[in-house]
Each structure stands twice: as C-alpha cells, then as structure tokens.
Amino acid sequence: MSLKVLFASSEVFPLIKTGGLADVSGSLPSALQNLGVDIRVILPGYPSVLEQLTDIQHLAILDNLPAVNEVELLLGTIAENQVKAIVVKSALLYERGGGPYADANGQEWQDNGVRFGILSKVAAILSSPNTPIKDWQPDIVHCNDWQTGLTPAYMKLVDHSSAKSIISLHNMAFQGCYPYEMLATLDLPASAFLMEGLEYYGQLSFLKAGIYYADAITTVSPGYAQEIQTEAFGFGLQGLLASRGHEIIGILNGIEPEEWNPETDSYLPKNYSHSKLAGKKQVKKALQQKLRLNIDANAPLLGIVSRLTDQKGLDLFLPIAQNLLDAGCQLALLGSGDNELEIAFRDLATHNLGKASVTIGYNEPLSHQIMAGSDLFIMPSRFEPCGLNQLYGLAYGTPPVVNRTGGLADSIVDATAETIANKTATGFIMEEVSSTALLNATQRALTLYRTEPKVWRQLQKNGMSQNLSWDKSALEYLDLYQSLLESK
C-alpha cells in the first residue's frame, strides 16, 4: 500500500499564491505523487481556490471545532498536476476579498489566529481516530510554516493522532504569535503553555509549537538549516532549534519545469533554450517595448521580481541605482510590499523615463517576462531560506547577483577565474551585505557582459543546463517519510 501524506499549506500554486511557499506547495506534492506517494494537500477554501479546483465533491462536515461552529470539507483536483486537494470551506473564515493574510490594502486580517488555528486543527483531526474521512487516513502530516504550525501540537496534545508530523521551515521571520487568550479560543491545553511547549515570551507561538512538537524538522536549504540555529537568523527560536540541531534536515527546493521553462513558457512572446539563445533577445526587446524602456539590445537590463521587504535587501540597491542607470543599465522591477520602498522605486522610475520601469503589484505573466527578458537578476537578500527566483534566473539564462546566504549560497556559484574556466560559474555573489558590495558584484557582472560575450554565454549555459527539478529533493523527502514510519 502506498504511503499516505497530508500536505498542509496556506497557499498552493496555482490556486493561491503570495510567494515561494505556494510554488513549493504546488510543485513538491506533484513530484511526490510522481514517485508513487498517495498525497493530498489541505488548504483553506479562499474564493480563488473554490473557483479553480475541478471535480469538487463534498467530503464531510466537521463540527464541534473551537471558535467556529463548523466547516465543510471538500475534495477537489488541481487540474494542472492532478494532485488532490482537501479544502476547508468556511464562509466566515476564508471567503472574502483581498489576499490570504491581509485585505486589499495590506492590512492583516484580525482573525488570522483563528483562521490558521482552524486550518491546523482540521489537518490534525484528519490524522486522528476521530477523522470523518475513514477511507483515507494519512501516515504523515507534512506542515509548512507558522500557518500550520499548530497541527503537530494538536496531533500530540489533543487529537491522539498516530501519524508522524513534519514541519518545513520556509521563513523564520513569520511566527504567528498571539496573546495567551488564543489558547482557550483554540481549545489548546493551558498545561502546555510552557517554555517547553507552546509559550514564547508570554504569547502563543504557532511556529514554535510546530518546531517543538513535530517529529521531524526540515528547512528549504542546507545553509538555512545551519543559519537558523544562530542568533542572527533564528528570530528568537535559535536555542530551541539548536537543541534539535542534529535533527534539522536541509533540503533545497526544486522548481516546477512545467511552469518555469523558457522552452515552453506560454507567457513569453518567444521561447528559447540554451542551444537557441537568440529567442531571449526577442523577449528582451518585447519587454522593453511593453515597459516603455528604450529599445536597446546592448543596454544591460537588470531584473527584479520580489516582495519589497527588509528580507530582500532591495534598500541596498536604491543608493546605487542611479549610478547604474547613468552607466547605461536599464531596470525592470516588479514587486509590492513596504510603502517606503514602493515610493522610492516609483520615484526612481519617474526620474528615469525610458531607463527604469517599476510595476507595483502582483503579476504572474510579467514576472516570467522579466525573468526571461532581463540580462541580470538582482537578489541581494539579507536572508533567504531557499529563494526560487535565483533558480528561475538560472533556468532562464539570467545570471543572478545574490548575497552569500541561505539557499542563495547553496545554489549559486560565484564567477571567478577558476569557476569560469571549469564551467561551474552561474552568477555573482556579494562579499558582504552593503550597497558597495552589491555594486561591486553587479559591476563584475557588467564587465563580463560587455567585454566577454563568449564567457557570458557560457555562464548562461552553465545555469540553464543545471538540473533544478524536484527529482533529487523529492526523493529526500520520501526518504524522510519512510524513516519516520520505520521509527514508529
């Protein structure tokens, strides 16, 4: 009988997405399914989820839940990859405009604790003797980030689950901390409100709960697995993480070849590959046209697609942007987030018509077009658990300029005389977190781009010929599932 895995996530591409968590929750379950795992994802019934899933059928009503009367469980299929999805349907909790965590103005929903507490609770019930779905009970519940962090706690403390739990850490910066009263609201035992338990500086922490009670912990790159055990990257949980340090497994994310492949990408005006790079020039021209940049094949086009938050380090780019634009570069930025950064980048574009284009918002097609049409991808993140955009940059022949951290350091090989000669170079790494270091790394890239076209082409090919698929990483998750079940 095949292994049954319930994969719990608050966002799953293409149903709903704010960032890389959705990409992973869309593509990893599909890769595991291809390996023979009987996997179902569980996620909230946001409007876009109810609209996009196919073959939706009623599964059960769950009542007696904390904080809400009842929710309905639906079963649907993600058309793109045929992965089955269990939807937690509740008009009260999930059927509203805006995004999964915030309203259309970016204001966080006041009831996020309850919304994701219930998601966590339902995932735990489905792995317990009280599940209403008797014909499909998971052996493993695979949780992701704080939004499903309470699941392992419910499984152990309340629901007497016999399944094993895993928490995958995609970002320690978001922890889901709520006042003590939330414990009662969510029917969690006050006796577990301890330092060795659910308590974190006087509050209930969803993420800590996951880390404390899960049977296994993974992070999305080996580098990040080490970093989060230190004060600089652990966001307060480094001590707990270090106490389970030898158990933390870092597995680098893969990418979905059906979605992110320049040979087949339907968002591009022209497809291309590493043996036919000419098409990339046409994509660049079309992008310049679309974004009202000067049509200039020789102007190095710098691409940025990002959440505009402190994590991504794009404030480091602002002081050097004018310098780069004056030196003949162009900029195509797509992103949204902190108001100050949005305003600063908008100003930059206003003062540099034809040279800098800034699109504030979320735009899936444009994100692909920038990735393909740019010559260099700029990603100076202060920390980056894995990062998918630099991987997309590799696949699209757009070498990334990155900081030496987390998954960026694990996936990019800096271009040096040696790595250029042995054909392993794939991008440019900053030596420290500063504008000067970002400028230096970018200028190293520009020099190669402008003066050594053959070397540049080789660099593109080195990136494009990497195997970035889930093949290897999905097997590592499968090994982990199997070893957890053997340890039962």
Chain residues binding ligand GLC by CB under 6 A are 19-21, 24, 170-171, 220, 253, 384-388, 407
Q: Which does 29 bind (CB under 5 to 8 A by kind): ligand GLC, ligand ADP, none?
A: none
Closest contact distance (angstroms) between CB of 21 and ligand ADP is: 6
Nearer to ligand ADP, 71 or 78 (CB): 78
Comparing CA positions, the residue from 332, 334, 324, 357 lying closest to residue 449 is 324
Rounded alpha-carbon distances, angstroms, from residue 455 to 79, 145, 445, 460: 42, 40, 11, 9
Q: Which does 147 bind (CB under 5 to 8 A by kind): ligand GLC, ligand ADP, none?
A: none
Nearer to ligand ADP, 163 or 366 (CB): 366
Residue nearest to ligand GLC (CB): 20
Closest contact distance (angstroms) between CB of 263 and ligand ADP is: 18
Comparing CA positions, the residue from 252, 21, 325 lying closest to residue 333 is 325
Binding ligand ADP (rule: CB under 6 A), the pick from 274, 285, 290, 307 is: 307
Q: Which does 220 bind (CB under 5 to 8 A by kind): ligand ADP, ligand GLC, none?
A: ligand GLC
Comparing CA positions, the residue from 68, 75, 10 lying closest to residue 43 is 10
AA letter at 362: Y
Closest contact distance (angstroms) between CB of 368 and ligand ADP is: 8
Nearer to ligand ADP, 127 or 390 (CB): 390
Rounded alpha-carbon distances, angstroms, from residue 10 to 43, 419, 453: 6, 40, 44
Closest contact distance (angstroms) between CB of 335 and ligand ADP is: 5
8 Å CB contact between 437 and 254: no
CA distance 281 to 289: 12
Q: Helix, strand, coil: what percent of the chain each, to 5?
A: 40, 20, 40
CA distance 404 to 224: 11
Q: Give the x-and-dash track for 322-341 against ligand ADP (CB under 6 A).
A: ------------xxx-----
Binding ligand ADP (rule: CB under 6 A), the pick from 181, 364, 431, 452 is: 364
* Piece of the chain touching ligand ADP by CB under 6 A; list 180-188, 190-198, 360-368, 422-430: 360-368
Rounded alpha-carbon distances, angstroms, from residue 176 to 147, 209, 240, 276: 7, 10, 16, 47
Q: Token pair for residue 462?
A: 């080195």
Q: Which does 149 bind (CB under 5 to 8 A by kind): ligand GLC, ligand ADP, none?
A: none
Residues 411-470 that bind ligand ADP (CB under 6 A): none
Is cis: bond before 14, omega within 30 of 0?
yes
- Specify the pairing of strand 203-205 against strand 177-178: antiparallel
Binding ligand ADP (rule: CB under 6 A), the pick from 203, 367, 398, 403 is: 367
Q: Please report whether residue 174 would count as binding ligand ADP according to CB under 6 A.
A: no
Residue 443's Cα: distance from chain center in Å? Answer: 29
CA distance 86 to 29: 13
Binding ligand ADP (rule: CB under 6 A), the pick from 68, 133, 362, 466 is: 362
Q: Which does 9 bind (CB under 5 to 8 A by kind): ligand ADP, ligand GLC, none?
A: none
- What DSSP character marks residue 405? S
The SS3 call for residue 52 is: helix
**CA max distance for the chain:** 69
Closest contact distance (angstroms) between CB of 487 and ligand GLC is: 26
Nearer to ligand GLC, 332 or 386 (CB): 386
Closest contact distance (angstroms) between CB of 145 and ligand GLC is: 8
Closest contact distance (angstroms) between CB of 174 and ligand GLC is: 9
Terminal Cα-to-Cα distance of the chain (whole angstroms): 17
Q: Which does 364 bind (CB under 5 to 8 A by kind): ligand ADP, ligand GLC, none?
A: ligand ADP
Closest contact distance (angstroms) between CB of 170 and ligand GLC is: 3
8 Å CB contact between 286 and 270: yes
CA distance 25 to 6: 12
Q: What are the residues facing 71 on neighbouring strands?
A: 62
The enclosing H or E element of 76 equals: strand 70-78
* Piece of the chain touching ligand ADP by CB under 6 A; list 29-37, 85-93, 350-358, 387-395: 387-395
Binding ligand ADP (rule: CB under 6 A), the pick from 7, 8, 9, 23 is: 23
8 Å CB contact between 75 and 85: yes
CA distance 154 to 162: 12
Closest contact distance (angstroms) between CB of 391 and ligand GLC is: 9
Closest contact distance (angstroms) between CB of 309 and ligand ADP is: 8
Q: Which does 367 bind (CB under 5 to 8 A by kind): ligand GLC, ligand ADP, none?
A: ligand ADP
Which residues here bind ligand ADP, judged by CB under 6 A? 19-21, 23, 305-307, 334-336, 362-364, 367, 386-389
